[in-house]
Amino acid sequence: MDERLRLDANLGVDERLCSKVACAREAIATLTFDYGDQMAALGPLGPGGDPHAHDLCATHAERLSVPAGWLVIRHEALRA
């Protein structure tokens, strides 16, 4: 079972936590990178288990920043 899964009265067994260090908020989005194309993609919470994907809470998804020159693609469901 993924170490970021948590049993809690407020969260179901399959709900995941934000990947950011010291963040205990529920993840709502998954971030992936394409280093060759200098692109980051932020979409709805993925299926999990991908070591190259990072789950983010709403706060960290909104504050996402990438290196200069990189493109960020945000899924329509996550746009404000």
The yes-or-no verdict on residue 26 having pLDDT over 60 is yes
φ, ψ for residue 77, nearest 5 deg: -65, -20
**Tokens 């993609």 belong to residue:** 41
- Are the CB atoms for 39 and 70 separated by under 8 Å? yes
φ, ψ for residue 78, nearest 5 deg: -100, 0
The pairing of strands 29-34 and 54-56 is: antiparallel
Mean pLDDT over 4-19 rounds to 64
- Confidence band of 76 (pLDDT split at 50, 70, 90): confident
Domain ranges of the chain: 1-80
Average pLDDT value over all residues in the chain = 86
pTM (two decimals): 0.78
